Structure 1
Amino acid sequence: VQRVLVADVYGSDPAGGNALAVAKGLDWLVGKGVKVVSVSLVGPPNPLLARAVKAAQDKGAVIVAAVGNDGPAAPPSYPASYPGVIAVTAVDGRNRALIEAGRALHLDYAAPGADIAATNAAGRRVKVRGTSFATPLVASRVALKWGANLGPKLDAEAIDLGARGPDGTYGRGLLCTICRPAR
């Protein structure tokens, strides 16, 4: 049985989503035994966030993070650019990189992030787009492939897109074609 826990880093605080809130959220999740953490927010490098990510990793957690939606000319995003974090970009229904997809210092995988629908808080199906929606799909594959040799297991599933081999547009390939949400 898999559990899904959510750390609300925004809440009602006008400064919600700041590095301290994210660090506290990571600490709480890892304290609850979460092994795979999906992070669908981005920002500039931050020493507090860097320490929180490293502490979570040191306790065995894998962090999967979106590269953001500020376009390829944007500076690298964090936490996706921290060492050991699985950085995720998004593709559309034709497996083309999203034009708004950001960059990280490294890119690991792509996943569906457009031409998909999700259920909103009111229970209605809505169209969604962005790297934030691709990230939990990759996190789901990480959770299913959990254990030794995680990278090679994911790489074996990844479909190489773009230039042969790892690249800055699709990383090591497309994951989660089997979990593409229905339109």
Structure 2
Amino acid sequence: MSLLHRAGVRTVAVADVYGRDPAGGSASALARGLGWLVSGGAKVVSMSIVGPDNPLLARAIASARSKGVVIVAAVGNDGPAAPPAFPASYPGVIAVTGVDGRNRALIEAGRALKLDYAAPGADIVGSDAKGRIVKLRGTSFAAPLAAARIAAVIEGDWRAKADAEAVDLGRKGPDPVYGRGLLCGNCR
């Protein structure tokens, strides 16, 4: 059973923003991919990509959010001294960091203007393109696990449901290292 299936996800759509396009990963590619996902009925979108603030991407995310789509984004792996990462730092985006198998924050985890949740980002495995089992590490792997848990409780007040599931780590209550707590801790 896959990590996302264990996290509560039954259907996954993927927007390839790199592909064969020489400008792959550009803000326009991200905006097109996000638009495609939203037009296809996505309720939760996970973004494991980071970069500087970009007006086009900011507008695309604001548009998706105005349609009720929850955007979940990784904080990146440039370390805590790096500038805040986007899209995780856009208003209303759920920013996710990663923890290891002992629930310690990843030393390479970046930051956002505000942090919402942590999820497993190390001491986990997945399959590569050839079906081989490989070790995974980074906030890019934590974000889809948090997104999966949010998607599993999306009906009604998903925030209250996610907060009730989140395991408080670090200082009591929300903090800048673990956010509101660990989601999907049993997804390893």
Same fold (TM over 0.5): yes
* Structure 2 gaps, min length 5: 1-8
- d(CA) in 2 for partners of 1:24 and 1:77? 20
In the TM superposition, residue 160 of structure 1 has moved relative to its aligned partner by 0.6
- d(CA) in 2 for partners of 1:2 and 1:91? 24
Equivalent residue in structure 1 for 2:94, among 70, 73, 86: 86
- d(CA) in 1 for partners of 2:136 and 2:43? 26
The question of 1:107 aligning with 2:118 is answered: no
Q: Which amino acid aligns with 2:143?
A: T
Q: Which amino acid aligns with 2:136?
A: V
- d(CA) in 2 for partners of 1:9 and 1:163? 37
Q: Which amino acid aligns with 1:43?
A: G
Query: Residue 153 of structure 1: SS of its match in structure 2?
Result: helix
In the TM superposition, residue 105 of structure 1 has moved relative to its aligned partner by 0.3
Q: How many residues align?
A: 180
Map of 1:117 onto structure 2 = 125
User: Per-residue CA shift, 1:28-50, capped at 9, x if unaligned?
Assistant: 00000011101000000000000
- d(CA) in 1 for partners of 2:106 and 2:34? 28
Moved more, 102-111 or 145-154: 145-154
Q: Which amino acid aligns with 2:118?
A: A
In the TM superposition, residue 12 of structure 1 has moved relative to its aligned partner by 1.1
Map of 2:143 onto structure 1 = 135
Give me the identity figure in percent.
71
Map of 1:28 onto structure 2 = 36
Map of 1:19 onto structure 2 = 27
- d(CA) in 2 for partners of 1:178 and 1:100? 22
Map of 2:64 onto structure 1 = 56
Equivalent residue in structure 1 for 2:104, among 96, 100, 103: 96
Query: Residue 126 of structure 2: SS of its match in structure 1?
Result: strand
Query: Residue 16 of structure 2: SS of its match in structure 1?
Result: coil
* Structure 1 gaps, min length 5: none
Query: Residue 114 of structure 1: SS of its match in structure 2?
Result: coil
Compare relative contact order (CA 8 Å, sep 6+) and give the higher one, 1 or 2.
Answer: 2
User: Per-residue CA shift, 1:124-144, capped at 9, x if unaligned?
Assistant: 000010000001100110111
The question of 1:66 aligning with 2:74 is answered: yes
User: Per-residue CA shift, 1:14-60, capped at 9, x if unaligned?
Assistant: 32101110000000000000111010000000000000000001111
- d(CA) in 2 for partners of 1:60 and 1:81? 18
- d(CA) in 1 for partners of 2:23 and 2:136? 25
- d(CA) in 1 for partners of 2:85 and 2:72? 13
Pairwise CA RMSD of aligned residues?
Answer: 1.0
* Superposition misfits of 4+ residues, deviation over 6 angstroms: none
In the TM superposition, residue 3 of structure 1 has moved relative to its aligned partner by 2.1
In the TM superposition, residue 179 of structure 1 has moved relative to its aligned partner by 1.2
